[in-house]
C-alpha cells in the first residue's frame, strides 16, 4: 500500500464535468495511486493496460516537454488525441494526473483545465502554510 497521499480522489475529478470518463494519478516514481473509470462507463482498454500507461506515458511526455518549457513559461497540461478519446496530462502537486474525455465531448476540456488551475493554486497555498 502506498504511503503517498493523493491530492484528489476520483469522485472529485468526475464532478468536474459529466464527460470525464477516466482518471489516473501516478507519483513521479511511477507508482499508480489512482486508476478508475467513471461508474457505468465501459473502458476501451483493460485496467492493467491503463496502469502500464500511467507508469510511463504521462511522466515521459511531461519530462520531454519540460525540457523545452523554459522558453514558454512551463508546461501546464498536455492533451493527447486518440481515435475515440482524448487525455489531459498535468502535474498536480508532486504527482501526475491523467484525465480521459470521450472524443466529441471537447466542451469538457475548458472545465478540466479550469479545475486543474484551481487545484494547483489550492495545493500551492496549502504547501506554503
- Name the residue among 78, 43, 38 with its Cα closest to residue 57: 78
Comparing 97 with 129, the larger pLDDT belongs to: 97
10-45: buried (b, 16+ CB within 10 Å) or exposed (e) per residue?
A: beebbebbebbbbbbbbbeeeebbbbbbbeeeeebe
Close Cβ partners of 46 (under 8 Å, ≥ 6 residues apart): none
pLDDT at 1 over 50: no
pLDDT at 56 over 50: yes
Q: What is this structure's pTM?
A: 0.86
Q: Which domains are seen in the chain, by residue range?
A: 10-128 (3.30.450.30)
User: How far apart (Å, rounded) are the C-alpha atoms in residues 13 and 17?
Assistant: 8
Comparing 97 with 58, the larger pLDDT belongs to: 97
DSSP state, 38?
P
Amino acid at each position: 500500500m502506498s504511503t503517498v497521499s493523493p491530492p484528489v480522489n476520483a469522485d472529485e475529478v468526475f464532478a468536474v464535468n459529466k464527460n470525464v470518463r477516466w482518471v489516473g494519478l501516478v507519483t513521479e516514481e511511477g507508482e499508480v495511486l489512482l486508476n478508475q473509470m467513471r461508474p457505468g462507463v465501459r473502458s476501451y482498454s483493460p485496467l492493467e493496460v491503463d496502469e502500464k500507461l500511467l507508469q510511463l506515458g504521462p511522466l515521459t511526455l511531461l519530462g520531454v516537454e519540460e525540457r523545452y518549457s523554459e522558453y514558454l513559461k512551463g508546461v501546464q497540461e498536455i492533451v493527447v488525441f486518440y481515435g475515440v478519446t482524448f487525455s489531459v496530462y498535468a502535474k498536480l502537486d508532486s504527482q501526475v494526473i491523467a484525465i480521459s474525455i470521450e472524443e466529441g465531448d471537447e466542451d469538457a476540456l475548458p472545465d478540466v483545465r479550469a479545475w486543474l488551475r484551481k487545484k494547483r493554486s489550492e495545493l500551492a497555498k496549502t504547501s506554503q502554510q
